[in-house]
Structure formats: C-alpha cells, structure tokens
Amino acid sequence: MKKKRMLTMLLAAAMAFTVAAAPAGYRTVLPETWTVHADGERVEKTYGDWSYYDDTGMVALSGYHGSAVNVTIPSKIDGMTVYRIFPQTFQNNDKVETITIPKTVQIIAGDAFLGCTALRSFTTAADGFYRYSAGMLYYITPDYVDAKYTVSVGDWTSSEMDYRKELVYCTRDNAYITVPEGVGSIGPYAFAGRTKLTHILLPAGIQRIGEHAFDGCTELRGMSMTTGDSGGSAFNIPYGTVVIGSYAFSGCGSIRTVNLPNTVEYIGTSAFQGTSIKSVYIPPSVEIIGFQAFNFDITVFGDPKTTEDGEDTETVAQQYAANNYSKYSSTSGYHGGDFLENVTHDPSNDFDHNYVYTAVVPVTCTTPGSIAGICYCGHTYYQEFPAHGHSFTEPVTVPPTCTEDGYSGMKCLFCDTVYESSGSSGSAILIGDKQIIPALGHSYGTPVYEWSEDHAFCTARSYCVHDDTHIMTEMSVATSKKDGDTTVYTATFSNKRFTTQTCRVKDGTVVKETGDVSGDGIFDVLDVIVLQKWLLAVPGTQLADGSAADFYADGRLDGFDLCLMKRALVKRRQLLA
C-alpha cells in the first residue's frame, strides 16, 4: 500500500474526509433513484404512523410518529417493499420498548434508534439480515455477499478488511458489557449515549469502530480485548482494529489514556475529542489522523517514517502536532528537534503507559489466548486469557434428507457449533441435547416410461419425491409380435414397481388406444379397474399412460373421467356385439 504524508493542506481539508462504511458488496446492491420535487428535494410521504421515501418502488422509512409500545416495522407500504431504515427514524422516542424487524429490511442507519430510552429488545426474522441476541442487534452478512471492504479517505485507502457480523445497536444499559467473539465491527452509534457504561470488553478481531460508536459515554473509562478488571482504567483498543471512526469516543471524559495497536491505520476526526487523555503514542501503522482527533493539550509520541528514497521525513505524529495544536511540551513529545529526546515517563503510574500490541493470540470458544505489548518507555505487558466457552443462543434446524438424519437444536452465536451434550461446559449457556430428525427415506413417485426410437428397448424411471436426484431406473429389452398390420412391442421389468408396457406401431407410427391406462395395448374392463384404484389411492396402483384416461380433456384425472371411461367401454362392447 502506498503510504501518504499528512500534509498541512490535507489536514486543513480533514473535515471533508469520508469513510466508506458500507462498501460495494457489503450489502445487496440497492436502487438510489428517489421520487423528488421540482426543486430536486426528495418527496417524503406518509402511511399511517410512518413517513417514508419512495426509492424506485422500494421504501426507505424516515420517521415513526405513533405511540405504540411494541412496534412492528411493515414489510410493505402501498405495495412497495420496505428495505431501509433511515437515520433518526425512531430518534428520542421514549415509549417504544420492542421493535420487530421484517426480513425485507437490508439497511438500518446507525442512529435510527438514538435516544430511544425505553427500547429493550428486537424481534428479527430467522432468514433476515439482522439477528438479536443477548441485548445486541447484529447485521449478519449473507453467505452470498462478499464481506470484504476498504475505507477510503481522499486518495488514501485502507488495507482490505473482512468481517461478517456487525454490532448495530445495544439495548443494554449496564456499567460492564461484553461484546461476544465473532463480531467484526462496532457499528456507528452502537453504544452512543450509554451514560452508565464504564467498561467494555471487545474481542480481538474487531476491525472497525464506527463513527460515534461510543459518543457521549461519559463514564466509560476501561476497554479490554478479552477479559479484564471491571475496576481498572486501562483503555486498550483491540488488536486488529484498522479504523477508528470520527467521533468514535468523543465526549468520553473519563478516558484518561488510550493504547493503540500497531494495526490501526486511520483515526477519524475528533475521535478522542473531549476525553481526559494527556499523551498518546501513535504507532507507525497509522497513516491518517483526522482533524483534532485528540484534545488540544496533549503530548503526541510516535516513530519516524522514511520516504521511498530512504530519506527521513516527519512522522505522522509530528505532522499532526504541528498542524492541529498550538500547545507542546518543551521536555516531551514534539518540540521541533529529535522526536523522543528528553521524554519524561513514570513507569509506576498506570496512566503513563501507552502500549503497542506486538503479539496477540485471540481467545476462542474452546482455546485460550494471550496478549503482549510494549510501551514507548520500554515497559512490557503480557497477559493470558482462558477460553470463554460457547454461547448457545441461536436456534438452528437442519432438515433431514432421504439418506441422512437432520437435527434441531441451538447454535453457538460465535463459532456455529451446534450444542450436542447436556454436560457442563465452562461459561456456555446449557440447553438440552439436539433433537435428531430421522432421515426421510426414499419415496418414489409414479414411474415414467420411455421407449427407444426403434422400440427395441423401454426404460422405466421413478423419481424420489424428496430428492429428484435419487432415481430408480431399469431398462427392459422388448419382445414383438404381429397383430395384422400392427406390430405390438411388450416390455416387462424385474422391479415390481414397474408395470409391463405395450406399444403398438403401425407404419412406423405409434398407435394409442384411448382408455388403455394399463399399458397392455387393449382398452377393456382392466383399465376401468386400474383407474378406479388409482383414484382411490390404492397402494401400488400405477397408470402406464395417464393421458389415455383423460376422457374429459381437462388435463387432469378425476371421477368425471372414470364415468366417461365406463360409458365408452359400454358403447365399445355394444358395437362389437
């Protein structure tokens, strides 16, 4: 990736930086052609308690004006599919407690539920884009959608990121919250305004902390990657994080220090503005720092970078300090000379350490992990963490096939393991054994028969009704005999499921006799018996040629055809008599 210098003019334009939070392929490609007024403004329409925009025959909800406690988002409005929830649709609603999201909804804005103080839960469709579990609403990237994406700022582009589960909104308002393993992104506004939150546990593997994700969390002071002391004040951005969005921790006045891993490439505008951070170490991985990402009275440290021809150039931290702030320390941080000269540091003060993570082994459901880091003062950090166990919270059903059993049970939210045992398992939520659904077995339908072009062979096939790739088949060599100017071919089968077939050929053309459903080449009382048994669903009854019994000519067989068949047989006998 080509490295970019942080030029003064780039910083001056930093307020215009944009983050591509929903890249192509991240969600299904959707239309963006709105119904507009003559002046170009979008036309906002109303439907009951809802306001919405018409996006080429699809609905983007823009407001809810009802007073219901339990709200169901409609899947259709005026015959159009509801696919999107716009920003601020439910903003500051203090009545709604539960919201049901239909499977048609593909995009929900991060601040759609901002300020919903009474909101406690969501109900989501099992086959939809969103899941709700343990107080958290997730966007689940479908298997057919490429989850890889990048973030672009001007002419700078991040390394490619890949995640399939984004935490969209947290309904819990606790002091201590754990985000489960498997989450790849903290969405915009996910925890915004949670004034009770003091400590957050994020899993290693988080790649993006979205815009305003923790904006206004005034009591937030601790962040750990796997497990931590709820009374501690270490603030460790998870190893693997690439993007920290604009205003991500804005207004979090209780944060006193932040440790950035050497995976971070982008720190957005005002990301840590309004915190109590006094110094920060910028790891060499950082390429872009947005305008006033930290407070004005802060000491910035970092490692020097070099140009492509090997000449030393200013570090990102130096450029940042020179272009964003007017106050610098004369004894530490950037002061215009050798960058880390005369740095003062108190290793005994927990708030003076700023760790850069150098090695991380992520914790999984079944395997332990560890983290190692080093502060710019040389102080090292190492900690091991136990496996956290499964969290079996998502119901799953695997249907049986003809030959294999299916099952129903609960799936781990993070690793897709299906719970099978009722024994103890660490911190897992224990449930009953998974229920086995027996294999269906084969159930073959009415056979079909196909003669070869020269009528020397007849092939019988019967398809399983559960899986048409399972076929019972047999080929029979036909015998022939003359009946006047007609040749009668007869095929018999060893499989009792297949009936003897007869084909009458005259002058090279197949002669069909109406009513001959038994396939013996003759229309007689046997055909009436066979049709009657078939209509009564007598087991084992098969029609060699069902079309021969369609006397009513309506494309189906029923009692009318049986009556007309009997009448035709009586007339035939009268004529022969």
For residue 245, being part of any structural domain is answered with: yes
Token couple for 258: 């932040």
Q: Does residue 423 share a domain with residue 307?
A: no
Are 316 and 305 a contacting pair, CB within 8 Å?
Answer: yes
pLDDT of 417 higher than 50: yes
Is 202 part of any domain?
yes
Share of the chain above pLDDT 70, in %: 72
More confident: 370 or 83:
83
Q: Could you give the strand order of the β-sheet that contains 243-244, starting from the edge strand earlier in sequence?
A: 130-133, 136-140, 165-170, 185-186, 208-209, 243-244, 266-267, 288-289
Q: Are residues 303 and 182 in the same domain?
A: yes
For residue 310, the SS3 value is: coil
8 Å CB contact between 510 and 495: no
Q: What is the mean pLDDT of residues 18-27?
A: 36
The residues with which 444 forms a beta bridge, in sequence order, are: 464
What are the angstrom distances between the C-alpha of 319 and each of 157, 219, 316? 19, 31, 5
Structure tokens belonging to residue 223: 């962040």
Contact (Cβ atoms closer than 8 angstroms) between residue 115 and residue 91: yes
What pLDDT, on a 0 to 100 scale, did the predictor assign at position 196?
92
Residue 59 lies inside a defined structural domain of this protein: yes
Instruction: Please tell me the total number of residues recorded for the chain in this structure.
Output: 577
Strand, helix or coil at 107? Answer: strand
Q: What distances in angstroms separate CA 566 from CA 40, 162, 513, 557, one per listed residue? A: 74, 70, 15, 14
Q: Counting Cβ atoms within 10 Å, is residue 509 exposed (0-12), middle (13-18) or buried (19+)?
A: exposed
What are the percentages of helix, strand and coil residues in the chain, rounded to 5? 10, 30, 60
CA distance 413 to 434: 16
From the list 77, 49, 48, 50, the residue with the least C-alpha distance to 62 is 50
| Dihedral pair phi/psi, residue 398, rounded to 5° | -110, 110
Residue 124 counted as domain residue: no
* Residue labelled with tokens 């505008």: 269
Cα→Cα distances 458→481, 506, 520, Å: 16, 18, 14
- CA-based diameter of the chain, in Å? 126
Q: What is the mean pLDDT of residues 205-225?
A: 90
Is residue 511 scored above 70 in pLDDT?
yes
Same domain? For 339 and 466 the reply is: no
Whether 375 is covered by a domain: the verdict is yes
Most confident stretch, 376-385, 391-400, 511-520, 531-540: 531-540
Q: Single out the residue in 118, 138, 172 at which a domain terminates.
A: 118
What does each C-alpha distance from 495 to 246, 381, 467, 478, 542 come to in angstroms? 73, 75, 20, 15, 13
Residue that wins the pLDDT comparison between 41 and 440? 440
Q: What is the pLDDT of residue 340?
A: 35
Separation between Cα atoms, residue 465 and residue 442, nearest integer Å = 8
For residue range 257-283, list pLDDT tens digits in order: 888 888 888 888 889 999 988 777 788
The burial class, CB within 10 Å (0-12 / 13-18 / 19+), for 8 is: exposed
118, 145, 169 - which closes a domain = 118
Please indicate, yes or no, whether residues 76 and 38 belong to a single structural domain of this protein. Answer: yes
Give the residue from 108, 110, 117, 123 showing the smallest Cα distance to 70: 123
Give 45-65 as a DSSP string: EEETTEEEEEETTEEEEEEE-
CA–CA separation, 124 vs 147, rounded Å? 21
Question: Looking at residues 80-104, what average pLDDT do you find?
Answer: 93
CB 444 within 8 A of CB 472: yes
In a domain, residue 123? The reply is no
* Average pLDDT rounded to a whole number, residues 483-511: 85
Could you tell me if residue 547 is left (phi over 0), alpha (psi between -120 and 50 degrees) or otherwise beta?
Answer: alpha
Same domain? For 167 and 234 the reply is yes
Same domain, 458 and 550: no
pLDDT over 80 (residue 364): no
Is the model's pTM score more than 0.75?
no
Identify the CA nearest to 145 among candidates 55, 22, 56. Answer: 22
pLDDT band at 431 (very low <50, low <70, confident <90, very high): very low
Do 185 and 55 belong together in one domain?
no
C-alpha of 11 from chain center: 36
Q: What is the pLDDT of residue 469?
A: 87
Give the integer Cα–Cα distance in Å for 58 and 560: 48
492 within domain boundaries: yes
Q: Which helix (H) or strand (E) holds 370?
A: strand 369-375
Q: What is the pLDDT, as a whole number, of residue 41?
A: 62
Which of 478, 510, 542 is the C-terminal boundary of a domain? 510
> Which position has the higher pLDDT, 399 or 220?
220
Confidence of residue 11 (pLDDT cuts 50, 70, 90): very low
Are the CB atoms for 236 and 355 separated by under 8 Å? yes
CA 415, CA 365: separation in Å to the nearest integer?
A: 7
pLDDT tops 90 at residue 188: yes
Q: Determine which helix (DSSP H) or strand (DSSP E) holds 177, and give its type and residue range.
A: strand 176-178
Q: Is 291 left (phi over 0), alpha (psi -120 to 50) or beta?
A: beta
234 shares its domain with 189: yes
Q: Phi-psi region for residue 268, left (φ > 0), alpha (ψ -120 to 50) or beta? A: beta
- Amino acid 28: pLDDT: 39
Terminal alpha carbon distance of the chain:
97
Host domain of residue 46: 32-118
Phi/psi for 162 (5° steps) reads -145, 110
- Total domains, the chain: 5
pLDDT at residue number 331: 34
Q: Is the pLDDT assigned to residue 347 strictly greater than 70?
A: no
**285 and 155 in a common domain:** yes
Q: What phi and psi, each to the nearest 5 degrees, are found at residue 327?
A: -110, 125
Q: Is residue 402 part of a domain?
A: yes
Cα–Cα separations (whole angstroms), residue 264 to 170, 180, 270, 328, 537: 24, 21, 16, 24, 70
The residue-averaged pLDDT of 518-545 equals: 80
Report which DSSP code applies to 190: S
What is the DSSP-derived secondary structure letter of residue 42?
B
Neighbours of 361 (CB within 10 A): 16
pLDDT category, 475, cuts 50, 70, 90? very high
CATH of the domain at 572: 1.10.1330.10
- Mapped onto helix, strand or coil, the DSSP state of residue 300 is strand
With 80 as the cut, is the pLDDT of residue 187 above it? yes
**pLDDT class of 95 with cuts at 50, 70, 90:** very high
Question: How far apart are the C-alpha atoms of 277 and 290, rounded to whole Å?
Answer: 17
More confident residue, 20 or 116: 116
Task: Assess whether 173 and 311 both reside in one domain.
Answer: yes
- Is pLDDT of 307 > 60? no
State yes or no: pLDDT of 391 exceeds 80: no
Residue 357's DSSP bridge partners are 373
Is 114 found in the same domain as 198?
A: no
What confidence score (pLDDT) does residue 168 get? Answer: 94
User: Mean pLDDT score of the chain, rounded to an integer?
Assistant: 76
Q: Indicate if 322 and 398 belong to the same structural domain.
A: no
Q: Which helix (H) or strand (E) holds 324?
A: helix 316-324
- The mean per-residue pLDDT over the stretch 77-93 comes to 92
